[in-house]
């Protein structure tokens, strides 16, 4: 199998420029390799950058300590960290779908007491692009922020992404879930099939007591050019908002947008 050609530093060789910080350029080169969402080890980064192994190790250790990278607990490989994801989410929040939808979501949250989020897929998770909380105690049990990564098969917003994704992408997600969670895969598949059925009947997906917490959720996929599908979801304590009530309230925003 042909290996990827090492991506020798894409940064121009400004060797004569006293203001050019070479160590920073090397770190940014390494960060840019994670743009596709891959999980990579130091040796793979050495092969792609052409940098010495010791240099790569020092840089990735620093980036991990600062939160720009994180270590996957199962594979021990590196992936984008919450700080890097959060920076991107902060930019996204100011443009595109979030900029258009936020005023309606803020009004809906205030009117209904629901916590509302918008997110899109990152491997086997859903990155929260924006989160709107009501001025109530609900926020104490739905404490997510832009940059938070939610499990794709364990939350309404993740299941909504799956059911609306193209068939080829769905198949890829199934394969990765089965590989990552072999013992839980039968239950996850059953949950996804239920979400498909519910979405076909109602146009939305609900979950009860998701995250092993007393929280109900409902999500609606909204296709976009940039992300294919950006689900929006509402979440609230199960006592305060049964799934169907959450769905009715969420539908107000969907219908008005």
65, 80, 95 — which closes off a domain? 80
Query: CA 136, 114, 195: angle at the middle one, nearest 5?
Result: 150
- The domain spanning residue 192 has which CATH number? 3.30.450.40
Neighbours of 248 (CB within 10 A): 14
Give yes or no: residues 72 and 108 share one domain: no
Give yes or no: residues 234 and 141 share one domain: yes
Q: Which of 122, 137, 135, 138 is nearest to 82 (CA)?
A: 122
Give yes or no: residues 123 and 164 share one domain: yes
Neighbours of 81 (CB within 10 A): 20
Residue 126: predicted pLDDT: 84
Residue 237: predicted pLDDT: 47
Give yes or no: residues 45 and 60 share one domain: yes
Q: What is the mean pLDDT of each run of 10 residues along the chain (257 residues)?
A: 43 64 89 80 92 94 90 86 72 65 84 83 81 67 70 90 91 92 95 94 82 71 56 52 52 41
Give yes or no: residues 128 and 108 share one domain: yes
- The domain spanning residue 35 has which CATH number? 1.10.10.10
Q: Which of 215, 130, 103, 227 is nearest to 169 (CA)?
A: 227
Residue 125: predicted pLDDT: 84
**DSSP string spanning 192-215?**
HHHHHHHHHHHSSEEESSGGGSSE
Neighbours of 150 (CB within 10 A): 21
Q: Is residue 9 part of a domain?
A: no
Q: Is residue 54 part of a domain?
A: yes
Count of domains observed in the chain = 2
Those residues whose C-beta lies under 8 Å from the C-beta of residue 130, and which sit 6 or more positions away, are: 89, 92, 93, 98, 101, 102, 105, 117, 118, 146
Q: Is residue 17 part of a domain?
A: no
Residue 52: predicted pLDDT: 94
Domain that holds residue 98: 84-256
Give yes or no: residues 76 and 88 share one domain: no
Q: d(Cα 225, Cα 209) in Å, to the nearest integer? A: 32
Q: Is residue 217 part of a domain?
A: yes
Q: d(Cα 61, Cα 54) in Å, to the nearest integer? A: 11
pLDDT digits over 144-182, tens only? 777 777 889 988 899 999 999 989 999 999 999 999 899
């Amino acid at each position: 199998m042909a290996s990827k050609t090492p991506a020798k530093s894409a940064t121009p060789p400004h060797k004569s420029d006293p203001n050019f910080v070479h160590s920073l350029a090397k770190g940014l080169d390494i960060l840019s390799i994670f743009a596709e969402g891959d999980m990579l080890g130091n040796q793979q980064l050495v092969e792609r950058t052409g940098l010495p192994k010791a240099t790569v190790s020092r840089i990735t250790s620093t980036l991990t300590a600062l939160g720009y990278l994180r270590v996957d607990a199962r594979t021990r490989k590196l992936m984008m960290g919450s700080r890097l994801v959060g920076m991107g989410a902060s930019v996204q929040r100011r443009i595109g779908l979030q900029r258009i939808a936020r005023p309606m979501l803020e009004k809906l949250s205030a009117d209904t007491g629901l916590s509302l989020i918008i997110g899109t897929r990152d491997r086997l998770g859903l990155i929260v692009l924006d989160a709107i909380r009501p001025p109530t105690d609900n926020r104490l049990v739905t404490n997510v922020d832009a940059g938070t990564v939610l499990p794709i098969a364990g939350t309404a917003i993740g299941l909504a992404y799956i059911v609306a994704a193209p068939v080829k992408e769905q198949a890829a997600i199934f394969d990765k879930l089965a590989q990552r969670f072999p013992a839980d895969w039968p239950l996850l598949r059953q949950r996804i099939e239920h979400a498909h059925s519910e979405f076909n009947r109602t146009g939305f997906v609900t979950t009860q007591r998701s995250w092993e917490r007393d929280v109900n959720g409902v999500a609606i996929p909204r296709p976009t050019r940039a992300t294919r599908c950006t689900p929006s979801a509402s979440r609230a304590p199960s006592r305060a908002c049964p799934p169907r009530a959450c769905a009715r309230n969420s539908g107000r925003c969907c219908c008005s947008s």
